[in-house]
Amino acid sequence: MSVQQDIIHRLQREILQLQGSRPPAPGQVELDMGPINTAFPNKTFPIGAIHEFICPRPPDEAATAGFTAGLISGLMQLGGVCVWVSAGRKVYPPGLKIFGVAPDRVIFMDMRTEKEVLWVMEEALKCERLAAVVGELRELGMTVSRRYQLAVEQSRVTGLVIRQQPRQLYPNAAVARWHVTHLPGLIGPDMPGVGFPRWNIQLSRIRNGHPGSWEVGWQAGRFHFETAKASVQEKVLQKLTG
Amino acid sequence: MGKRFLSLWFRRLTTDYVSIRRPALLHQPFVLALPDHGRMVITAASALAMEEGIQTGMAVADARVLVPTLEVLDDKEGLTSKLLRQLALWCIRYTPIVAIDAPNGLLLDISGCPHLWGGEKVYLQQIVHTLRNKGYDVRGAIADTVGAAWAIARYGRVTPIIEPGEQADALLGLPPAALRIDPLIAGRLQKLGLDRIHRIAGMARQSLRTRFGNELLLRLDQAFGRADELIESVIPPAVYMERLPCLEPICTAGGIEIALTKLLDTLCSRMQHDGKGLRTAIFKGHRVDGQMIQAAIGTHRATHNIAHLFKLFEEKIPTLEPGLGIEVFTLEAPKTEDTGPSQTTIWEGAGGWLDKNLPELIDRVSNKMGADRVHRYTPSEHYWPERAITATDSLDEIALDRWSVTRPRPVYLLAHPEPIEVTAPIPDYPPMLFRHRGGLHKIIRAEGPERIEQEWWIAMGQHRDYYMVEDESGVRYWIFRSGHYKGTGPHQWFLHGYFA
């Protein structure tokens, strides 16, 4: 029985590799996402892949920017540079510092139209030595996402697409689809102030993984998973009950 | 190798220019005139008019007596210098150093250039023929010194090309006016019977100086090559510049690419040898019809990587219009910087700041989209949020100050603070409610205030009291009150950003 299990696991790993999600090479950045790791294939955050973040309302964009900044700081931990491509940028560089990203290590590319963002983002994703590329786009269709995914499979750059108020959520080739929303801050009862930021992270699509939702905070320069509860089962239940 | 100079003399520059533009005037005597003391004075006369005996400096009324059908056109101030400059720029295709020799000539430093055209004779013929075909009555001469070339172009009767070292023999038979001296001095020499240079060349220097001043001696020395003479080029030649003359005019994109690769190849190997890298480069093409086309690029870090530079230029090649063909290509690097010895192998795996991939990406983006699109920020010693960062275009600039984390700063900052309506319980307390764009937000928790004063030495205005507030769904805002609490008056509160 266990032999069969082993074979199945091995075959699954091989299939994963064929599908473009490789386990991190030694010496490469590895992102520890605590309980969220169980949702990912190989139990590691997919590096060298395209992630999309859906932000239906403007405040969600800020929450997403904070969460992505946290991810970027992890991706940049071995040194490296991040490129932030957007049209009509609202990100305030000093605000990234609290999430462990040195703002002078982020190159902001400010375009006028979304079409320009598309081109620049693809060029940046092909640039091998970048730690991450963040792009602010409204739509991410099949063609574009497939091009991006092919580019990052070559270059091993992690691409994060922040989709601001998307009109349609068509299927695309991105590896993961996230929804980040605000939650009341992390703070003890009867304490003054607003506390540490806290978000509800919903992973609604993950290729070869398990979708779920978690509560994640940011405290002392790292993600705070204390309150996180894996709600994979919850999700399954939801599905069953309709 | 000795210097060689070419002097061009345009005998009737302005009238030639006018008849090129109006070919009908070729068969009619005409003059250009300017008003002077209430009468029209002739400033230039065409060849036909000269034959009739009309001279420059005559009054138009007198000339009309000689030629009743004389056409009189208005001269323009500065036309000569404008034309000379245009012609000098055109001549850049033959040599990088071209100087204007007012009022009616050009001087070309052609040292080391004629062999590219197959010798001085062909070189001179080509320049003079091309100019004559354009319609300019031009004479040219080549000699070792500026003075000799000038004299032979204007007064020479035998041969326009004076072999190296033989300028003295060629000059001796010419009148003293050929020495570029004041017409007054030339007139006095003529009066004294000194009508050929050989008569004064043998005289004692002392007596010449006392009678005719230093200028004559200086001009004499310059013409014979005993004194140096510098000419000032219309375009100062760049240190790093390469030229590529073409056998046949190039008019295809493929040809331009080949020319560009060749030029980049030579320029970059030279720069690599000198330990330099270019920050800006200009690729120019001189067209058959005298126009010049160019494409310029800039880089974010000094580089001499041929493949990368070619890529930057590649996108500009379609914008170059070759017209009837391009004769000469030049590539120059006006701005260069030292580059350290390349350390690509060390940084290969690090993905660090000094990686060369990144500057190349930035160059590609800023050359395609525009130079102002790529930003990098360093902290600036200001509390006022809009001024707390400075954009820098250099990748090497290290943040001098530390990024401060002691004060909360939002991850999203609105370009312009948006007015909100608030309900605040007591002055200086954070608001309980606020309304922004029609949406009502109930504030649950708040932090603040953080007062940020205007820097009076930069701008005047109210201070701001910032609060970080959180509404019932956990969304965090950065709002401020502008100035002190006034009790009345709307638009005192603003939303300035969102926290993550």
pLDDT digits (tens, 9 = 90+) for B64-82: 888 888 888 888 888 888 8
Q: State the fold for domain B240-347.
A: Dna Ligase; domain 1 (3.30.1490)
State whether residue B404 sits within 8 Å of chain A by CB. yes
CA dist B253 and B257 (Å) reads 6
Show Cβ contacts of residue A8 under 8 Å, excluding neighbours closer than 6 positions: none
Residues of chain A positioned with their CB less than 8 A from the CB of B360 = 127
pLDDT digits (tens, 9 = 90+) for B201-226: 888 888 888 888 888 888 888 888 88
Residue A3, domain member (yes or no) = no
Q: Which of B265, B309, B300, B332 is nearest to B92 (CA)?
A: B332
Sign for the pseudo-dihedral over CA of B425, B426, B431, B434:
positive
Instruction: Tell me if A183 sits within 8 A of A34, measured CB to CB.
Output: no
Residue A57, domain member (yes or no) = yes
**What are B161's two structure tokens?**
């090309």
DSSP string, A170-231: ---S-SEEEEEEEEEEE--TT-SS--EEEEEEEEEEETTS--EEEEEEEETTEEE-TT----
Q: Chain A residue with minimal CA distance to B415? A: A90
Residue A18, domain member (yes or no) = no
State whether residue B436 sits within 8 Å of chain A by CB. no
- 8 Å CB contact of B353 and A95: no
pLDDT reported for residue B355: 61
Tell me what the mean pLDDT of segment B112-137 comes to.
Answer: 88
Residue A68, domain member (yes or no) = yes
- 8 Å CB contact of A59 and B498: yes
Q: Chain B residue with minimal CA distance to A130? A: B351
Write b or e for each residue in A151-170: b if 16 or more Cβ atoms lie within 10 A of its Cβ, otherwise e: bbbebbbbbbbbbbeeeeee
Facing A102 at nearest CB: one of B388, B403, B468: B403
What residues are paired with B413 via a beta bridge?
A: B497
Q: Any idea what the CATH number is for the domain that residue A68 is in?
A: 3.40.50.300
Q: Chain B residue with minimal CA distance to A109? A: B374
Residues of chain B positioned with their CB less than 8 A from the CB of A123 = 361, 364-365
- 8 Å CB contact of B469 and A194: yes
Could you tell me the pLDDT band of residue B344, with boundaries at 50, 70 and 90? very low
CB pairs under 8 A between A and B: 174
Number of structural domains, chain A? 1
Show Cβ contacts of residue A158 under 8 Å, excluding neighbours closer than 6 positions: A46, A47, A48, A49, A51, A71, A75, A131, A132, A133, A152
pLDDT digits (tens, 9 = 90+) for A172-223: 999 999 999 999 888 877 788 888 899 999 999 998 888 999 999 998 888 8
Distance from CA of B405 to the nearest CA of A (A): 6
**What are B462's two structure tokens?**
């109210």
DSSP string, B466-490: EEEEEETT--EEEEEEESS--SS-S
pLDDT reported for residue B193: 86
Could you tell me the pLDDT band of residue B372, with boundaries at 50, 70 and 90? confident
Choosing among B411, B470, B498, which should be mutated to test the A contact, i.e. which has the most A CBs within 10 A? B411
Q: In the block, which residue shows the tokens 């032999």?
A: A3
Which residue segment(s) compose the domain that A218 sits in? 48-184+195-241
Instruction: Tell me if B302 sits within 8 A of B338, measured CB to CB.
Output: yes
Output the average pLDDT for chain B. 84
- 8 Å CB contact of A81 and B379: no
CA dist B149 and B179 (Å) reads 10
- 8 Å CB contact of B411 and A109: no
Give the CA distances from residue B151 to residues A235, B141, B175, B192, in Å, rounded to whole numbers and listed in that order. 98, 8, 9, 21
The three-class DSSP label of residue A26 is coil
**What are A85's two structure tokens?**
């491509």
What residues are paired with B376 via a beta bridge?
A: B392
The three-class DSSP label of residue A111 is strand
Q: In the block, which residue shows the tokens 């999430």?
A: A99
Q: At what angle do helices B214-224 and B205-212 cross, to 10 degrees?
A: 130
Facing B377 at nearest CB: one of A104, A109, A116: A104
- 8 Å CB contact of A95 and B351: no
CA dist B494 and B487 (Å) reads 16
Distance from CA of B347 to the nearest CA of A (A): 10
State the ipTM, two decimals.
0.86
- 8 Å CB contact of A110 and B375: yes
CA dist A198 and B473 (Å) reads 11
Sequence-ordered alpha helix ranges (H) in A26-104 = 58-75
Tell me what the mean pLDDT of segment A57-81 comes to.
Answer: 89
Residue A28, domain member (yes or no) = no
Q: Which of A115, A128, A203, A199 is nearest to A158 (CA)?
A: A128
pLDDT reported for residue B399: 67
Distance from CA of B367 to the nearest CA of A (A): 12
pLDDT reported for residue B177: 85
State whether residue B61 sits within 8 Å of chain A by CB. no
Tell me what the mean pLDDT of segment A106-122 comes to.
Answer: 92
**What are A37's two structure tokens?**
């790791």
pLDDT reported for residue A176: 92
DSSP string, B101-153: ETTTEEEEE-TT-GGGGTSHHHHHHHHHHHHHHHT--EEEEEESSHHHHHHHH
Could you tell me the pLDDT band of residue B491, with boundaries at 50, 70 and 90? low
pLDDT reported for residue B354: 53
Residue A103, domain member (yes or no) = yes
Helix (H) or strand (E) holding B171, with range, is: helix B167-172
Residue type, B400: L
- 8 Å CB contact of A104 and B361: no
Q: Where are the domains of chain B?
A: 240-347, 375-406, 412-499
Higher pLDDT, A22 or A71: A71
A 129-168: CB under 8 A from B: 129-131
B 146-205: CB under 8 A from A: none
Could you tell me the pLDDT band of residue B346, with boundaries at 50, 70 and 90? very low
Lowest mean pLDDT, pick from A212-226, B399-413, B454-468: B399-413
pLDDT digits (tens, 9 = 90+) for A10-68: 888 888 777 766 666 666 777 888 888 888 888 888 888 999 999 998 889 999 999 99
Helix (H) or strand (E) holding B358, with range, is: helix B357-369
**What are B48's two structure tokens?**
């036909």
pLDDT reported for residue A240: 45
